[in-house]
Amino acid sequence: MKLMLTCEHASNRLPAAFKKAVPAEVLKTHRAYDIGALLVFRKLVRFAKPEFSCEGKFSRLFVDLNRTITNKSAFSEYYEAPDARDKAVAEKAKAQATAYWKEYRDNVEKFVQQNIGKGNKSTASKDAEIVHLGIHSFTPVLNGKVRNTDIGILYDPARPQERAYAQVIKDEIKRLYPAMKVRFNYPYKGSSDGLTTTLRKKFGPRYVGIEIEINQKFFK
């Protein structure tokens, strides 16, 4: 089994071509990136020494690496903002964003492709060959509602392998930190559009994709 760690929403940086489109104060918020996720991700990389890891280098307001590129929400409303309204500028930024998205996704898929399905196929083994942990964080209050959870573990309930790994992760967190509130598929569903969902479809049951969602209150 090989471990892959990723952090799609690590950064709030913008490339030069898109810099004027997003107000500086928005860049400091959870809308631009997953506050604290990079900190946890880098600690995990040092600690767990995964066979493969990668992190996003631009804000999701430029392009969301955790959305299919054909999903409208891959591109933020700032493509419509006054400074980006000039059509040529917006189109150029979008082309750059698409290329960046593709490079990130290709890099991840290449690793999975090269490390999956090489076992004895005649046994039709469904043992996990890649375990992918995507590290994310969520804002503690959304639209005035307090999210009463510390860590969310997102997986696809239709996949027994993922359910088993999610349970192991939850048990281990509870063993180490008994007071921690851990919930499955909260605050989002593991089966929604995202990197893990794409990889599940492409690579089948030997790929196990789990997202860890950490409450940003820990980083304040």
Q: How far is the CB of 121 from Zn ion (least distance, A)?
A: 34
- Integer Cα distance of 95 and 139 in angstroms: 30
Letter string b/e over residues 81-94, b meaning 16 or more CB atoms within 10 A of that residue's CB: beebeeeebbeebb
Residues 162-191 binding Zn ion (CB under 5 A) are none
User: Which of the stretches 7-15, 93-101, 123-131, 184-192 binds Zn ion when contact is defined by CB under 5 A?
Assistant: 7-15
Instruction: For residue 151, give the nearest of 132, 179, 125, 123 by alpha carbon.
Output: 179
The answer to whether the CB of 162 falls within 8 A of the CB of 206 is no
Nearer Cβ to Zn ion, position 64 or 156?
64
User: Which of the stretches 12-20, 107-115, 135-143, 202-210 binds Zn ion when contact is defined by CB under 5 A?
Assistant: 135-143
Residue 156 binds Zn ion (CB under 5 A): no
Residue 136 binds Zn ion (CB under 5 A): yes
The tokens describing 91, both together, are 């189109």
Establish how many alpha carbons lie within 13 A of residue 42's alpha carbon, considering only the half-sphere containing its beta carbon. Answer: 6
User: Which of the stretches 4-12, 86-94, 117-125, 188-196 binds Zn ion when contact is defined by CB under 5 A?
Assistant: 4-12
Q: How far is the CB of 184 from Zn ion (least distance, A)?
A: 17
Residue 9 binds Zn ion (CB under 5 A): yes
Residues 25-44 binding Zn ion (CB under 5 A) are 34
Residue 200 binds Zn ion (CB under 5 A): no
Give the total of residues touching Zn ion (CB under 5 A). 3
User: Which of the stretches 3-11, 42-50, 148-156, 195-203 binds Zn ion when contact is defined by CB under 5 A?
Assistant: 3-11
Angle between helices 87-115 and 195-203 (to 10 degrees): 50
Residue 55 binds Zn ion (CB under 5 A): no
Nearer Cβ to Zn ion, position 34 or 55?
34
Nearer Cβ to Zn ion, position 94 or 136?
136
Nearer Cβ to Zn ion, position 64 or 129?
64
Q: How far is the CB of 136 from Zn ion (least distance, A)?
A: 3
Nearer Cβ to Zn ion, position 32 or 93?
32
**Rule CB under 5 A: which residues touch Zn ion?**
9, 34, 136
